[in-house]
């Protein structure tokens, strides 16, 4: 009976997820029916320094090779453009930049035009993109951090030769209605500023890197193709259930078959048709890192589509990794597979010297090794969605994710208007479309530290959260607050309270002795007001690596350790009640705008920007492994020292 109810619920949930989103955004993967060409490497690049930043459009730079309309420089993709040259005006640049890549397509992609779709996909570009192929406009996309794509078959298959010239005009300007928001301020006092001088203002604390940050690929599918797959999972007793819904495009006559394979390739369940459920006997559940000997267990859902195209059989195959797990929230607990889960983790940034926010495999692998060394079981994608490649590893390693959208720096009343709201809803749709099938994602965060004490925030967050829940009824929703508990107009709508506080740092600076009292009061106030579980979603202290002072003084390694220890003693009391997690700010030092309070960036990392540990990293490591050992079946010392 319990399983029956769970299944009924699952059916409606998978349907909601699939229906609300309409189209898919599957990660491009090669298969028997799909080929893929990565366009990473050197692209041609030009920033438009004309006063209105409009020269590229006036002169239609997209119509012919970029080098023919003026000088170009080499620009790597993926990477931020800001810190690759010695030119300070490019580092601070705001406006349109132009990227171009010329590629030769395999003849097989062009010959069988009837049954080959060629798709151009951009993993993410900051922030507004306009894309042309061979001079023809193929798509536009607003917002960084999330992928977009365009079917370019007609253009490339119709044009002579196999040359495909991709031009992307990219604008990093942030306005009160973008996510994140920002504003352009024109400085009109000509005794102080040159004519036309303007600055980009933002209210968030990380450098506004821009460029093509994630891989750009071309891939093919047959003309009748699998456009989307939605899965939701449940289990009861010894039966696991994977409920699926497939979206097919290109034709209405086809047949679908599905195989669910375990890691070694053995088929454990089969299905047919667009909608259905697969039952797995004795399922291997997806468990978080350190909660089980075998974390991040993934099955592989192989979807095979067969159709007749031009009198011939056409097949499309797509394989989706699937983790079977459940998530529930009670008034005091966060349950994964029915067991209480305590978030002991970090907040991160996509950030590194030279490449900025550009995807870098070496950095990604280093960071996951550090997370495992630390004993971290989770992170929040502060303050925007991270690369799909990173999320894949979270799924595979069992690192639990609070998936945050770029709702950061929303401090002005104009950030809560209808236009912002409409865009915010679209961004949540795009984020869920991308990450809905990921077992690592256990909660959506719709914003970080918005001015939720403002009255319009009530309707705004009620709407964003309701929309998010309507699309994805399977995951809890939160936003991260630093507002006063009594005046937070968004908090009533969240499932989990996430609070940031910097006691003895941004106020009572240097007074470590007030931390425990203030933190205790914070927790009690929030819990009394909402009776919902609480995550300390940020806490920390800026620390210059190598700076020492004992007794601890601000900015020294000793002070960072001391702050952590004061916080931890309160966490240890409250986690027995309703505190369900602690996420340090921050995993590593990162770049910010220049300011009197920032010395080459934010230094609250427990690792430096080059990923070397500060003393606090060892404090946290001891703590996280102890916490892990309290709640798991692992052999403690063995696992700890093996890393």
Residue nearer to ligand GCB on the CB measure, 351 or 538: 538
Q: Can you tell me the distance from the alpha carbon of 88 to that of 623, in angstroms, rounded to the nearest whole number? A: 43
Size of the site for ligand GCB (CB under 6 A): 10
* Residue that has been written with the tokens 């798509």 in this structure: 139
Q: Which CB atom, from 119 or from 498, has the smaller least distance to ligand GCB?
A: 498
Minimum separation from the CB atom of position 597 to ligand GCB (A)? 8
Binding mask 373-402 toward ligand GCB (x if CB under 6 A, else -) reads ----------x-------------------
DSSP 489-506: SSGGG-SSEEEE--BTTT
Nearer to ligand GCB, 132 or 386 (CB): 386
- For residue 182, the minimal CB distance to ligand GCB (Å) is 14
- Residues 298-337: x where in contact with ligand GCB by CB under 6 A, - otherwise, as a string: ----------------------------------------
Is residue 478 a contact point for ligand GCB (CB under 6 A)?
no
Helix (H) or strand (E) holding 247, with range, is strand 239-249
Minimal distance in Å, beta carbon 585 to ligand GCB? 6
The reply on whether position 205 binds ligand GCB by CB under 6 A is: yes
Nearest CB to ligand GCB, comparing residues 379 and 585:
585
User: Is 448 near ligand GCB (CB under 6 A)?
Assistant: yes
Out of 604, 609, 614, 623, which residue is the one contacting ligand GCB (CB under 6 A)?
Answer: 604
Cβ neighbourhood burial of 32 (10 Å; 0-12, 13-18, 19+) = exposed
Torsion angles phi and psi, residue 368, rounded to 5: -70, -35
**566 is an interface residue for ligand GCB by CB under 6 A:** no
Q: Is 482 in the site for ligand GCB (CB under 6 A)?
A: yes
223 makes contact with ligand GCB (CB under 6 A): no
CB of 541 to ligand GCB, least distance (A): 9
Q: In the window 241-300, what residues touch ligand GCB (CB under 6 A)?
A: none
User: Residue 407 Cβ, how far from ligand GCB at the closest point, in Å?
Assistant: 11
- Of the pair 171, 448, the CB lying nearest ligand GCB is at 448
Site membership for ligand GCB, residue 449 (CB under 6 A): yes
How far is it, in rounded angstroms, from Cα 476 to Cα 372?
A: 25
The SS3 assignment for 210 reads coil
Q: Compute φ and ψ for 469, nearest 5 degrees.
A: -70, -35
Comparing CA positions, the residue from 482, 483, 471, 496 lying closest to residue 400 is 496
Nearest CB to ligand GCB, comparing residues 397 and 555 = 555
Residue 624 CB, nearest approach to ligand GCB (Å): 21
Report yes or no: 164 and 151 within 8 Å, Cβ to Cβ. no
At a CB cut-off of 8 Å and minimum separation 6, what does 1 contact? none
Residue 404 among the catalytic residues: no
Among 144, 602, 609, 617, binds ligand GCB (CB under 6 A): 602
**Tokens 């640049």 -> residue:** 93
Closest to ligand GCB by CB, 109 or 539: 539
Find the binder of ligand GCB among 289, 485, 530, 585 (CB under 6 A).
585
DSSP annotation string for 98-152:
EEEEEEEPPHHHHHTGGG-EEEEEES-EESEEEEEETTEEEEEEE-SSS-EEEE-
Interface pick for ligand GCB out of 13, 116, 232, 500 (rule CB under 6 A): 500
Per DSSP bridges, beta strands 441-448 and 477-481 are parallel
Whichever of 133 and 179 has its CB closer to ligand GCB, that residue is 179
Give me the least distance between CB of 101 and ligand GCB, in Å please: 34
Residue 226 sits at the vertex; the CA angle it makes with 217 and 364, to the nearest 5 degrees, is 40
Our CB check for ligand GCB shows the closer of 429 and 538 to be 538
Q: Contact at 8 Å (CB) between 592 and 598?
A: yes
Annotated catalytic residue within 449, 538, 557, 582: 449
Q: How far is the CB of 87 from ligand GCB (least distance, A)?
A: 27
Per the CB < 8 A criterion, the answer to whether 271 and 612 are in contact is no
- Find the binder of ligand GCB among 538, 557, 558, 589 (CB under 6 A): 538
Contact between 555 and 564 under an 8 Å Cβ cutoff? The reply is: no
Please list the alpha-helical segments (H only) found in 320-440: 361-374, 388-397, 418-435
Least separation, in Å, of the C-beta of 571 and ligand GCB?
18
Q: Which helix (H) or strand (E) covers residue 522, if one does?
A: helix 515-530
Identify the CA nearest to 221 among candidates 18, 29, 436, 389. 29
What is the SS3 string spanning 76-90?
A: EECCCCCCCCCCHHH
- The verdict on 589 binding ligand GCB (CB under 6 A) reads no
- Return the DSSP state at 63: G
CA–CA dist 438, 481 (Å, integer): 25
Q: Which residue is nearest to ligand GCB (CB)?
A: 205
Q: Which is nearer to ligand GCB, 153 or 202 (CB)?
A: 202
CB atoms inside a 10 Å sphere around CB 626: 13
Rule CB under 6 A: say whether 44 interacts with ligand GCB.
Answer: no
Give the whole-angstrom CA distance, residue 124 versus residue 27.
13
Please state, in angstroms and rounded to a whole number, the distance separating the CA atoms of residues 633 and 639: 11
* Shortest Å, Cβ 504 to ligand GCB: 13
Catalytic residues: 449
Where do contacts with ligand GCB occur on this chain (CB under 6 A)? 205, 383, 448-449, 482, 500, 538, 585, 602, 604
């Amino acid at each position: 009976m319990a399983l029956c109810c769970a299944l009924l619920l699952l059916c409606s949930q998978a349907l909601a997820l699939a229906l609300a989103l309409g189209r898919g955004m599957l990660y491009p993967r090669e298969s028997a029916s799909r080929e893929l060409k990565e366009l990473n490497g050197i692209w041609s690049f030009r920033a438009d320094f004309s006063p209105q930043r409009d020269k590229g459009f006036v002169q239609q730079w997209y119509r012919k090779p970029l080098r023919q309309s003026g000088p170009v420089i080499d620009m790597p993709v993926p990477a931020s453009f800001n810190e690759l040259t010695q030119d300070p005006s490019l580092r601070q640049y705001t406006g349109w930049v132009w990227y171009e890549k010329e590629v030769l397509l395999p003849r097989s992609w062009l010959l069988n035009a009837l049954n080959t779709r060629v798709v151009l996909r951009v993993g993410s570009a900051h922030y507004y993109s306009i894309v042309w192929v061979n001079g023809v406009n193929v798509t536009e996309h607003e917002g960084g951090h999330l992928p977009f794509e365009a079917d370019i078959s007609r253009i490339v298959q119709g044009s002579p030769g196999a040359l495909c010239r991709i031009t992307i005009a990219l604008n990093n300007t942030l306005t009160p209605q973008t996510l994140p928001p920002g504003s352009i301020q024109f400085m009109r006092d000509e005794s102080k500023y040159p004519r036309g001088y303007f600055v980009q203002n933002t209210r968030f604390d990380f450098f506004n890197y821009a460029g093509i940050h994630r891989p750009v690929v071309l891939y093919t599918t047959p003309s009748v193709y699998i456009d989307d797959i939605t899965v939701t999972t449940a289990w009861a007793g010894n039966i696991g259930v994977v409920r699926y819904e497939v979206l097919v495009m290109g034709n209405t006559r086809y047949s679908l078959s599905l195989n669910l394979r375990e890691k070694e390739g053995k088929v454990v369940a089969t299905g047919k048709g667009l909608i259905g459920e697969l039952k797995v006997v004795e399922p291997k559940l997806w468990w978080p890192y350190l909660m089980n000997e075998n974390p991040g267990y993934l099955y592989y859902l192989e979807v095979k589509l067969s159709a007749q195209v031009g009198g011939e059989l056409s097949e499309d195959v797509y394989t989706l990794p699937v983790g079977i797990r459940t998530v529930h929230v009670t008034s005091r607990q966060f349950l994964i597979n029915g067991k209480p889960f305590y978030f002991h983790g970090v907040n991160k940034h996509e950030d590194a010297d030279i490449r900025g926010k550009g995807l870098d495999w070496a950095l990604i692998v280093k960071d996951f090794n550090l997370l495992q060394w630390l004993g971290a079981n989770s992170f929040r994608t502060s303050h925007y969605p991270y690369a799909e490649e990173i999320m894949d590893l979270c799924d595979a390693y069992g690192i639990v994710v609070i998936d945050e959208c770029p709702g950061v720096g929303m401090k002005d009343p104009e950030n809560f208007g209808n236009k912002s709201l409409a865009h915010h809803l679209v961004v949540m749709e795009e984020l869920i479309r991308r990450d809905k099938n990921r077992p690592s994602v256990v909660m959506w965060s719709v914003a970080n530290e918005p001015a939720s004490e403002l009255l319009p925030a009530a309707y705004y967050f009620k709407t964003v959260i309701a929309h998010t829940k309507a699309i994805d009824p399977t995951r809890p929703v939160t936003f991260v607050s630093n507002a006063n508990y009594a005046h937070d107009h968004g908090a009533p709508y969240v499932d989990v309270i996430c609070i940031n506080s910097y006691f003895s740092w941004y106020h009572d600076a240097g007074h470590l002795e007030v931390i425990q009292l203030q933190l205790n009061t914070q927790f009690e106030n929030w819990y009394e007001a909402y009776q919902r579980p609480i995550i300390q979603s940020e806490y920390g202290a800026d620390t210059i690596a190598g700076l020492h002072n004992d007794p601890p003084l601000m900015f020294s390694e000793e002070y960072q350790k001391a702050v952590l220890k004061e916080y931890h003693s309160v966490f240890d009391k409250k986690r027995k009640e309703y505190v369900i997690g602690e996420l340090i700010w921050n995993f590593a030092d990162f770049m910010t705008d220049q300011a009197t309070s920032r010395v080459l960036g934010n230094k609250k990392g427990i690792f430096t920007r080059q990923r070397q540990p500060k003393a606090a990293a060892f404090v946290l490591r001891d703590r996280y492994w102890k916490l892990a050992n309290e709640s798991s079946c692992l052999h403690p010392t063995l696992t700890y020292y093996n890393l």
